[in-house]
Structure 1
Amino acid sequence: MEQAVRLSVRPALPSLSESKPARLIVVAILYFMQGIPWGLSTVGISAWLAANGATPVEVGVFIGTAVLPWSLKLVNGLLMDRFTFKPMGRRRVWIIAAQAMMAIVLLAMAIDAPTVGQIGLLAAYCFALNLCATFNDVAIDGMVVDLVPDEERTMVNGMMFASQTLGIAAASFVAGQLLMSGDISSTALTFAAFVAIVSSVVVIFRERPGERLLPWSKGTASRECEERQHSAWLPIIAGIFRSIASPLTVLFLLATFLNQAVWAFIDAASPTLTIQMLGWGSDQYSSFAAMVGLVAAIAAGVLSPLIVRITGLRKSIIILFVLLGASAAIGGATFDSWEDDRIFMTIFMIQYVVGLLLSILLIVWAMRICNPAVAASQFALFMAIPNLGRSLMSGNSGWLVESGGYAVTYYAVAAITLVALVLCLLAKVGKSEAVPIPALPIKSSITKEKKYEDD
Structure 2
Amino acid sequence: MTQTSASGAAPSRALALPALSENRVARFATIMVLYFLQGVPAGLTTVALTAWLAAKGATPVEIGAFVAFALLPWSAKLFNGLLMDRFTFKPMGRRRSWILAAQGLMIATLLVMAALAPTANEIALLSGLCFVLNLCAAFNDVAVDGLAVDIVPNSERTGINSVMFASQSAGIASTSVIAGGLLMSGDITTTALVLAALVAVASVFVGIFRERPGERLTPWSNGTASPECLERQQDAFWPIITGVIRSLFNRHVLLFLAGLAFAQAPFAFAGSVSPTLAVQHLGFSSEGYSNFVAAATLVAAGTALILPVPLVFWLGLSRAVIVQLAGVAILCAAAGLTLPNWQGDTAFMIYDCAIYALSLSGMITLISWAMRICSPAVAATQFALFMASANLAQSIYSANSGFVIEMGGYSATYLFMSVTSLIGLLLCLLARVGDEKLVTNHDD
TM range (shorter): over 0.9
Displacement of 1:8 after TM fit? 6.9
The one-letter code matched in structure 1 to 2:244 is: I
Q: Are 2:113 and 1:109 aligned?
A: yes
**Of the candidates 386, 393, 404, which is equivalent to residue 382 of structure 1?**
386
Hey, what does 1:258 align to over in structure 2? 262
Hey, what does 1:79 align to over in structure 2? 83
The one-letter code matched in structure 1 to 2:72 is: L
Q: Distance in 2 between matches of 1:111 and 1:363?
A: 38
Q: Distance in 2 between matches of 1:94 and 1:81?
A: 11
How many residues align? The count is 434
Hey, what does 2:248 align to over in structure 1? 244
RMSD between aligned residues: 1.4
Displacement of 1:450 after TM fit? 4.5
The one-letter code matched in structure 2 to 1:57 is: V
Q: Are 2:229 and 1:221 aligned?
A: no
Displacement of 1:47 after TM fit? 0.4
Q: Distance in 2 between matches of 1:260 and 1:417?
A: 8
Q: Distance in 2 between matches of 1:424 and 1:8?
A: 48
User: Deviations along 1:29-60, whole A, 9 cap, x unmatched?
Assistant: 10000000000000000000001100000010
Q: Distance in 1 between matches of 2:419 and 2:386?
A: 23
The one-letter code matched in structure 2 to 1:385 is: S
Q: Are 2:311 and 1:307 aligned?
A: yes
Q: Distance in 2 between matches of 1:137 and 1:436?
A: 23
Residues 8/377 of structure 1: CA separation in 2 closer, same or farther (3 Å cut): closer
User: Deviations along 1:227-256, whole A, 9 cap, x unmatched?
Assistant: 111111110001111222111111111010
Displacement of 1:421 after TM fit? 1.1
Hey, what does 1:142 align to over in structure 2? 146
CA contact (8 A) 1:77 1:138 kept: yes
Hey, what does 2:8 align to over in structure 1? none
The one-letter code matched in structure 2 to 1:136 is: N
Hey, what does 1:23 align to over in structure 2? 27
Q: Distance in 1 between matches of 2:311 and 2:373?
A: 21
The one-letter code matched in structure 2 to 1:110 is: A
Hey, what does 2:3 align to over in structure 1? none
Structure 1 residue runs of 5 or longer lacking an equivalent are 1-6, 438-448
User: What pairs with 1:25-424 in structure 2 (closer than 5 Å)?
Assistant: 25-424=29-428
Q: Distance in 2 between matches of 1:110 and 1:246?
A: 47
Structure 2 residue runs of 5 or longer lacking an equivalent are 1-10
CA contact (8 A) 2:107 2:200 kept: yes
Residues 195/67 of structure 1: CA separation in 2 closer, same or farther (3 Å cut): same
User: Deviations along 1:35-93, whole A, 9 cap, x unmatched?
Assistant: 00000000000000001100000010001111111111111110000000000000000
Identity %: 53
CA contact (8 A) 2:232 2:377 kept: yes
User: Deviations along 1:242-283, whole A, 9 cap, x unmatched?
Assistant: 222111111111010010111111111000000001011011
Hey, what does 1:4 align to over in structure 2? none
CA contact (8 A) 2:109 2:132 kept: yes
User: Deviations along 1:113-151, whole A, 9 cap, x unmatched?
Assistant: 000001111011111001101111111110111101110
User: Deviations along 1:180-209, whole A, 9 cap, x unmatched?
Assistant: 001111101110111112211111111111
The one-letter code matched in structure 2 to 1:158 is: S
Q: Distance in 1 between matches of 2:106 and 2:428?
A: 35
The one-letter code matched in structure 2 to 1:337 is: N
Q: Distance in 2 between matches of 1:426 and 1:10?
A: 53
Residues 221/51 of structure 1: CA separation in 2 closer, same or farther (3 Å cut): same
Displacement of 1:436 after TM fit? 3.9
CA contact (8 A) 1:88 1:215 kept: yes
User: Deviations along 1:353-400, whole A, 9 cap, x unmatched?
Assistant: 100000000001100000000000100111110010011101110111
Displacement of 1:11 after TM fit? 6.2
The one-letter code matched in structure 1 to 2:299 is: V
- The list of structure 1 runs, each at least 4 consecutive aligned residues, that deviate by more than 3 angstroms after superposition, is 7-11, 449-452
Residues 347/11 of structure 1: CA separation in 2 closer, same or farther (3 Å cut): closer
Give the TM-score taking structure 1 as reference length: 0.93
Q: Distance in 1 between matches of 2:284 and 2:13?
A: 60
CA contact (8 A) 1:432 1:451 kept: no
Q: Distance in 2 between matches of 1:8 and 1:300?
A: 38
CA contact (8 A) 1:436 1:451 kept: no
Q: Distance in 1 between matches of 2:233 and 2:306?
A: 35
Q: Distance in 1 between matches of 2:427 and 2:208?
A: 44
Displacement of 1:336 after TM fit? 1.2
User: Deviations along 1:322-365, whole A, 9 cap, x unmatched?
Assistant: 11111111111111111211111111011111000000000011
Residues 309/404 of structure 1: CA separation in 2 closer, same or farther (3 Å cut): same
The one-letter code matched in structure 2 to 1:92 is: R
